[in-house]
């Protein structure tokens, strides 16, 4: 072998060796206290930067703080799908973070208070990911769900938030500030609603044109995918379906249910809700909306096990037609959230169309049906959909509460930057896509644009696993949670487009939120003192050990 070749080879091998050592080698630290008493390593799962840069950065910041307290923290990047199946489903985690969306159906805090924390939901596959089991809490939660008196429910909700703020099984970290932009020169009466901002139904109904232009164009990243109300899973699609189809009840901007397609509703007993249907409603093809359509909708959803609807009507036993204007919904057991999470989220389907499709296609075919054109009874009619170009909805003049605009055009953009350019160039009049700080700076320059802001009802939540050490110890949990630099996270990672979160029910949800709870966070000194007072020890390298006789 020629010597010059030999030299290259030797160089490369040497380099390889040195590199491997430097990249993969890790030093070992010395210990001076009994090994068994050492607090076990915390394996913190974070998402990759690609999937969610926010959770990635928060993870790194939080891990740093925990290391300051002396904990041995290892950050591991997992693909979301893996994290979801191992963490969300199998509960094999130590700690990881989820972003819970602030959807309309979560305004009644059933999801936050019961589904996430009741002990019955701690089994594999369910949402009490932390495995929190507190009998006192369970009793309150049960009362919250079965008692149909709103004030009593509120009392329970307040008490539950107090307990959770103290026990911190799954502390909330921050609420994003949803920031949307719109053209204030041409449109007014913008309504920013909880959880949905500009995308909300109330905005589209109320927004009013100022000038001659009566059709509003709005931009969003990505096109809609599917307009089948039984199946669709994506938020963007649901926003559209929400204005084409009318439900019996709608949640207003304050979070309270209002009759909509229903003229009125009444709680007859703890299991039954009676609803009187509004007169003179018609589907977009002219057919009148009757109680048969309403019953059919719920029966069909149950029968084909429609993924999107079925979770909302889980507790529904049957729908009875009382007369040609009245229906009764009978539940399997008392379930107070049925009205805001069930009746308010199921759009009425036209029986004459869906029945035919069901007979032709069967259940599976029906769930895969693209439902074009979607015929509902809502204030907007379907105009046309040119995939990847635009979607148009037209005002339904015959509706009992028609919108102020003549039409709505939804334009999909390839990326958020494009949306911003579109707003500035007046290509679009608004965007329901929450803007990032860099984008907001650009929008501020444009005179015709205005920003609408609302705190998110959803939040980033850190899920501890109470089934494993060290999260099974309440003092450790409280200390770790106190160490979380929520304010710095808001400032550095969100550039102040967020607010620290303390209660599992967001402050923006004024009716249900308890403002008087303990605010755990941003206090590493308090974290240290909690640990010290409970007897935890540290060795000379600063590693934390359990108290004697633990």
SS3 content of the chain, % helix, strand, coil (to 5): 35, 25, 40
Q: Which parts of 8-67 interact with other proteins (CB under 8 A)?
A: 8-9, 11-13, 15-16, 18-20, 22-23, 46, 48-51, 53, 56-57, 60
> How far is 350 from 352, CA to CA, in rounded Å?
6
In the complex, the smallest distance separating the C-beta of residue 307 from other proteins, rounded to whole angstroms, is: 4
Q: Of 143-182, which residues contact other proteins (CB under 8 A)?
A: none
The site map against other proteins for 398-417 (x = CB under 8 A) is -----------x-xxxxxxx
Copy the structure tokens of residue 155. 């009392």
Give 358-363 contacts, CB < 8 A, sequence gap 24+: 358/300, 358/304, 363/303, 363/304, 363/305
Please state, in angstroms and rounded to a whole number, the distance separating the CA atoms of residues 181 and 449. Answer: 6
Distance CA 202, CA 251 (A): 10
Counting contacts by CB under 8 A, is residue 196 touching other proteins? Answer: no
CB of 121 to other proteins, least distance (A): 10
Residue 359 touching other proteins (CB under 8 A): no
Structure tokens at 35: 């090994």
Binding to other proteins by residue 387, rule CB under 8 A? yes
Query: Which tokens is 79 given?
Result: 């693909």
Q: Give the binding-site size for other proteins (rule: CB under 8 A).
A: 92
> What is the closest distance, in whole angstroms, from the C-beta atom of residue 12 to other proteins in the complex?
5
Please tell me whether residue 310 binds other proteins under the rule CB under 8 A: yes
Tell me if 500 sits within 8 A of 174, measured CB to CB: yes
Site for other proteins in 495-534 (CB under 8 A): none
Distances (CA, A) of 527 to 165, 403, 475, 543, 550: 15, 53, 9, 15, 19
Alpha-carbon dihedral sign for residues 398, 236, 85, 63? negative
CA-to-CA separations, 88 to 59, 127, 395, in angstroms, rounded: 17, 7, 42
Alpha-carbon distance 181 to 430, whole Å? 6
> Measured between alpha carbons, how far is 50 from 53 in angstroms, rounded to an integer?
6
Q: CA 79: distance to chain centroid?
A: 19
Q: Which is nearer to other proteins, 504 or 520 (CB)?
A: 504
Q: Do 370 and 228 touch, CB atoms closer than 8 A?
A: yes
Q: How many CA atoms lie within 13 A of 540 on its CB side?
A: 4
* Of residues 466-495, those binding other proteins (CB under 8 A): 491-493
* C-alpha–C-alpha distance, residues 493 and 486, integer Å: 10
Cβ nearer to other proteins, comparing 410 with 528: 410
Complex with other proteins: residue 80 or 511, whichever CB lies closer: 80
Q: How far is the CB of 287 from other proteins (least distance, A)?
A: 26
Q: Toward other proteins, which CB reaches closer, 31 or 88?
A: 88
Site for other proteins in 419-448 (CB under 8 A): 421-422, 427-428, 436, 438-439
Answer yes or no whether residue 217 interacts with other proteins by CB under 8 A: yes
Among 163, 226, 440, 474, binds other proteins (CB under 8 A): 226
Report the nearest approach of other proteins to the CB of residue 379 (Å): 24
Min. distance of Cβ 238 from other proteins in angstroms?
9
Which of 32, 41, 82, 254 forms a contact with other proteins (CB under 8 A)?
Answer: 82
Binding piece for other proteins, criterion CB under 8 A, among 37-45, 71-79, 197-205, 533-541: 71-79
Which of 38, 67, 86, 213 lies at the binding interface for other proteins (CB under 8 A)?
Answer: 86
* Candidate segments 146-154, 227-235, 330-338, 449-457, binder of other proteins by CB under 8 A: 227-235
Give the footprint of other proteins on residues 228-247 (CB under 8 A): 228, 231-235
**Please, which residues have CB within 8 angstroms of residue 186's CB and are 6 or more apart in sequence?**
209, 210, 211, 213, 429, 448
Residue choice 31, 33, 37, 88 for contact with other proteins (CB under 8 A): 88
DSSP state of 452: E
Query: With respect to other proteins, which residue has the nearer C-beta, 54 or 291?
Result: 54
- Judged by CB under 8 A, the chain residues 313 through 342 that form the site for other proteins are 314
Beta pairing, strands 187-188 & 208-209: antiparallel
Contact 204, 340 (CB under 8 A): no
Q: Pick the piece of the chain touching other proteins (CB under 8 A) from 95-103, 145-153, 196-204, 395-403.
A: 95-103
170 and 157 in contact (C-beta within 8 Å)?
no
Nearer to other proteins, 73 or 205 (CB): 73
Among 26, 36, 364, 445, binds other proteins (CB under 8 A): 364
Binding mask 125-144 for other proteins (x = CB under 8 A): xx------------------
Residue numbers 277-306 binding other proteins by CB under 8 A: 305
């Amino acid at each position: 072998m020629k010597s010059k070749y030999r030299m290259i080879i030797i160089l490369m091998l040497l380099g390889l060796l040195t590199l491997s050592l430097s990249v993969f080698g890790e030093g070992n630290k010395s210990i001076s206290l009994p090994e068994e008493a050492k607090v076990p390593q915390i394996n913190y799962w974070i998402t990759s930067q690609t999937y969610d840069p926010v959770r990635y950065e928060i993870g790194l910041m939080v891990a740093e703080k925990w290391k300051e307290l002396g904990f041995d923290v290892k950050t591991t990047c997992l693909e979301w799908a893996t994290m979801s199946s191992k963490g969300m489903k199998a509960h094999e985690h130590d700690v990881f973070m989820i972003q819970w969306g602030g959807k309309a159906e979560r305004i009644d805090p059933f999801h936050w208070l019961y589904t996430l924390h009741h002990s019955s939901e701690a089994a594999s596959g369910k949402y009490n990911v932390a495995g929190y089991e507190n009998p006192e809490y369970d009793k309150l939660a049960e009362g919250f769900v079965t008692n149909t008196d709103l004030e009593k429910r509120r009392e329970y909700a307040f008490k539950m938030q107090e307990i959770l703020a103290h026990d911190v099984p799954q502390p909330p970290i921050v609420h994003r500030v949803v920031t949307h932009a719109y053209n204030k020169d041409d449109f007014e009466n913008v309504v920013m609603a909880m959880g949905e901002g500009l995308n909300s139904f109330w905005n589209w109904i109320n927004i009013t044109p100022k000038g001659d232009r009566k059709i509003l164009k709005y931009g969003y990243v990505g096109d809609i995918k599917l307009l089948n109300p039984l199946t669709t899973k994506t938020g963007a699609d649901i926003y559209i379906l929400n204005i084409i189809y009318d439900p019996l009840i709608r949640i207003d901007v304050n979070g309270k249910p209002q009759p909509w397609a229903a003229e009125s509703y009444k709680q007859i007993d703890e299991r039954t809700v009676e609803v009187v249907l509004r007169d003179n409603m018609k589907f977009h093809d002219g057919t009148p909306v009757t109680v048969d359509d309403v019953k059919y909708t719920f029966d069909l959803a149950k029968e084909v096990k429609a993924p999107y609807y079925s979770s909302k009507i889980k507790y529904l036993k049957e729908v009875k037609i009382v007369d040609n204007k009245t229906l009764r919904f009978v539940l399997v057991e008392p379930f107070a959230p049925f009205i805001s999470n069930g009746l308010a989220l199921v759009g009425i389907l036209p029986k004459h169309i869906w029945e035919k499709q069901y007979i032709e296609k069967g259940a599976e075919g029906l769930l895969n049906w693209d439902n074009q054109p979607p015929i509902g009874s809502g204030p907007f009619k379907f105009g046309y959909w040119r995939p990847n170009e635009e979607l148009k909805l037209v005002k339904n003049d015959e509706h009992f509460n028609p919108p102020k605009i003549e039409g709505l055009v939804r334009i999909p953009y390839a990326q958020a930057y494009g949306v911003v350019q579109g707003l500035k160039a007046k290509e679009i009049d608004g965007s329901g896509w929450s803007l990032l700080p860099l984008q907001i700076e650009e929008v501020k320059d444009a005179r015709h644009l205005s920003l609408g802001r609302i705190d998110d009802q959803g939040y980033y939540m850190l899920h501890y696993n109470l089934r494993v050490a060290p999260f099974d110890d309440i003092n450790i949990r409280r200390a770790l949670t106190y160490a979380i630099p929520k304010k710095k996270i808001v400032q550095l990672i969100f550039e102040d487009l967020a607010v620290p979160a303390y209660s599992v029910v967001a402050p923006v949800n004024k009716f249900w939120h308890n403002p008087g709870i303990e605010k755990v966070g941003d206090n590493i000194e308090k974290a240290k003192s909690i640990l010290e007072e409970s007897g935890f020890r540290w060795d000379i390298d600063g590693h934390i050990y359990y108290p004697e006789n633990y």
